């Protein structure tokens, strides 16, 4: 791809000399590309990319990043490459705003227009890690089996046209096949998505796809390719014009693609990298043998309550998470949900203080500087509800324990799917199953019919859970209360024992 022209008013490599106060260190050696990252969104740029730059500053190595957008939209590629891959992280906390320019991103490509260049990167043995933040739906998995979803149009296309793959399983299989056929060592595949057992989940999707295509390739991937699991955490909202203005005010040059985020960040990584990795631990990442306890705690404590706040807020009219937590009954509801319904289901190391974690989460949610929009968090509920909330409900029911607050969260999602807040404001449902979900919710004229229609969607609810009478009863109670308004339901459920 041709080098983009830059000017002195725009953030670019030539402007770095004047920005020493906004880089992590003035010492910097431009690295060769060692990581290809699929899904070059805000989260990656505020998380893995920043950890990677800090790691390279502490222990130099060729871990520059090639970021890839899979959406067929070249605007993000062009905006970043106009800035030579540079962008700023706008960290907003109680003590003010800190703006840091990140240099680890060396190249940005867009599928499918840059396919040849991308596959040349995959074939380069200096690339030792391919990482991903593509959201749950990007894995194209069958929610019941965990295999690739062979009814998915993209998966069907990629099996018929493997040289034109567009899905994550298809792209990874084609890339790994090129390494195998060349006799080269495979790269490590590193999922950084909020997906339970994300490394294992991605491995199963890729291997099941490969087995349909080429059983020998599937065997090679299963035995030779590492898929470590991770747990990631940082609140990273969508970029706004206010973020661009904050970056401009701090830097004195325009940055069209800054990334807002909170000060907190966390990364727990299963330490399996046969071909090496950056020294992420020096940047604060935790390298462990088993990510699962940390992952489940985060999914159930943070992600589940985030979704609960989002769906109740979409009904009640709170625009941001900080607005929602600023409503005292809703903050109490979330506090009690974490304390009494979520934390008891978790088995974490003794060093992990769950109640301190609860309090830290509430403080993070209350940060008004982030403006984390509830509508953004409410997207893709069919993918998020099972690992975030339904898994906790199942654990509680198996133990014979009450699920009232968790049921309210689920019923809030059901009610949200009707596409209208309590004051009549309409909004769009953004979800892979949107057509089925909205039809089920829209056709239901009573709480009972609403609950039954949505429990019948097996892509979300496993039959054993869907047919549990205690779940149905709790959901009907909650959906009935929500008919009287979300604020009234929040007030009532914040007071239950």
Residues 335-355 have pLDDT tens digits of 999 999 999 999 998 888 999
The DSSP line for 448-494 is HHHHHHHHT-TTTS-HHHHT-HHHHHHHHHHHHHHHT-HHHHHHHHT
Eight-state DSSP code of residue 152: S
Determine contact, residues 147/205, Cβ cutoff 8 Å: yes
Sole residue written with tokens 């088995």: 347
Nearest-angstrom CA–CA distance, 299 and 295: 6
Residues 49-81 have pLDDT tens digits of 999 999 999 999 999 999 999 988 899 999 999
Determine contact, residues 183/223, Cβ cutoff 8 Å: no
* Element spanning 203, H or E: helix 198-213
Residues 242-286 have pLDDT tens digits of 999 999 999 999 999 999 999 999 999 999 999 999 999 999 999
Nearest-angstrom CA–CA distance, 122 and 129: 9
Mean pLDDT of 129-146: 94
Confidence of residue 5 (pLDDT cuts 50, 70, 90): very low
Nearest-angstrom CA–CA distance, 222 and 485: 51
Q: Going edge to edge, which strands form the sheet with 266-270? A: 230-233, 266-270, 286-288
Q: pLDDT at position 72, please?
A: 81
CA distances 55 to 58, 141, 189, 285, 470, Å, are: 5, 33, 19, 10, 50
β-pair type (33-38, 129-132): parallel
Q: pLDDT at position 196, please?
A: 82
Q: CA-based diameter of the chain, in Å?
A: 66
**Domains annotated on the chain, with CATH:** 13-288 (3.40.50.720), 292-493 (1.10.1040.10)
Residues 287-329 have pLDDT tens digits of 999 999 998 999 999 999 999 999 999 999 999 999 999 999 9
Residues 89-125 have pLDDT tens digits of 999 988 899 999 999 999 999 999 999 999 999 999 9
Mean pLDDT of 227-250: 94
What Rg do the C-alpha atoms of the chain give, in angstroms?
23
Nearest-angstrom CA–CA distance, 478 and 414: 10
Q: pLDDT at position 194, please?
A: 85
Q: Please tell me the chain's helix, strand, coil percentages from 3-state DSSP, rounded to the nearest 5.
A: 50, 15, 35
Nearest-angstrom CA–CA distance, 364 and 322: 9
Check whether 8 has a pLDDT greater than 80: no
What mean pLDDT, rounded, does the chain reach?
95
Check whether 7 has a pLDDT greater than 70: no
Side-chain-side CA neighbours of 52 within 13 Å: the count stands at 28
The DSSP line for 338-399 is IIIIIGGG----TT--HHHHHHHHHHHHT-TTS--BHHHHTTTHHHHHIIIIIHHHHHHHHT
Q: pLDDT at position 1, please?
A: 42
**Tokens matching residue 152:** 């998915």
Residue 497 neighbours by CB under 8 Å, 6+ apart: none
**Tokens matching residue 222:** 């299963």
Nearest-angstrom CA–CA distance, 355 and 274: 37
β-pair type (96-102, 33-38): unpaired
Determine contact, residues 210/217, Cβ cutoff 8 Å: yes
Confidence of residue 207 (pLDDT cuts 50, 70, 90): very high
Question: Residue 112, preceding bond cis, omega within 30 degrees?
Answer: yes
Nearest-angstrom CA–CA distance, 296 and 337: 16
**Tokens matching residue 312:** 């109740």
**Tokens matching residue 166:** 């567009």
Mean pLDDT of 152-158: 97
Phi, psi (rounded to 5 degrees) for 237: -75, 175
* Element spanning 232, H or E: strand 230-233
Sole residue written with tokens 């940390």: 294
Nearest-angstrom CA–CA distance, 476 and 57: 55
Confidence of residue 371 (pLDDT cuts 50, 70, 90): confident
């Amino acid at each position: 791809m041709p080098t983009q022209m830059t000017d002195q008013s725009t953030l670019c490599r030539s402007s770095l000399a004047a920005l020493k106060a906004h880089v992590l260190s003035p010492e910097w050696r431009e690295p060769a590309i060692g990581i290809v990252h699929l899904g070059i969104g805000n989260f990656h740029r505020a998380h893995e990319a920043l950890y990677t730059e800090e790691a390279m500053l502490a222990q130099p190595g060729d871990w520059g990043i090639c970021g890839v957008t899979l959406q067929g939209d070249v605007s993000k590629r062009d905006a970043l490459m106009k800035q030579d891959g540079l962008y700023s992280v706008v960290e907003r906390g109680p003590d003010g705003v800190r703006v840091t320019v990140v240099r680890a991103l060396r190249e940005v490509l867009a599928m499918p227009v840059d396919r040849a260049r991308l596959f040349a990167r995959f074939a380069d043995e200096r690339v030792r890690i391919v990482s991903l933040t593509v959201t749950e739906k990007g894995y194209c998995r069958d929610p019941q089996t965990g295999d690739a979803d062979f009814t998915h149009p993209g998966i069907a296309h990629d099996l018929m046209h493997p040289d034109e793959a567009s899905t994550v399983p298809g792209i990874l299989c084609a890339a790994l096949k090129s390494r195998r056929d060349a006799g080269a060592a495979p790269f490590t595949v590193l999922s950084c998505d909020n997906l339970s057992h994300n490394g294992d989940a991605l491995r199963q999707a890729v291997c099941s796809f490969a087995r349909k295509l080429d059983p020998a390739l599937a065997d090679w991937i299963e035995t030779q390719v590492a898929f470590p699991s991770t747990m990631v955490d940082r609140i990273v909202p969508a970029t706004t014009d206010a973020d661009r203005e904050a970056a401009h005010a701090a830097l004195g040059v325009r940055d069209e693609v800054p990334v807002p985020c909170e000060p907190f960040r966390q990364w727990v990584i299963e330490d399996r990298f046969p071909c090496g990795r950056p020294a992420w631990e020096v940047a604060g990442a935790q390298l462990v043998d088993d990510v699962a306890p940390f992952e489940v705690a985060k999914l159930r404590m943070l992600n589940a309550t985030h979704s609960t706040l989002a769906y109740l807020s979409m009904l009640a009219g709170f625009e941001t998470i900080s607005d929602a937590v600023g409503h005292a009954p809703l903050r109490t509801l979330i506090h009690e949900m974490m304390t009494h319904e979520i934390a008891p289901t978790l088995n974490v190391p003794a060093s992990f203080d769950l109640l301190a974690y609860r309090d830290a989460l509430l403080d993070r949610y209350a940060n008004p500087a982030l403006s984390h929009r509830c509508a953004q968090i409410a997207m893709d509920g069919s993918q998020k509800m099972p690992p975030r909330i339904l898994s906790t409900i199942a654990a509680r029911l198996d133990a014979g324990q009450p699920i009232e607050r968790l049921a309210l969260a689920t019923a809030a999602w059901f009610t949200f799917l009707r596409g209208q807040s309590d004051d009549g404001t309409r909004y769009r449902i953004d979800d892979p199953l949107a057509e089925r979900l909205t039809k089920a919710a829209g056709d239901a004229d009573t709480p009972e019919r609403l609950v039954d229609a949505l429990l019948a969607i097996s892509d979300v609810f496993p039959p054993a859970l869907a047919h549990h009478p205690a779940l149905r009863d709790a959901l009907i109670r909650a959906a009935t209360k929500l008919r009287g308004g979300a604020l009234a339901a929040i007030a009532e459920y914040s007071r239950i024992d």
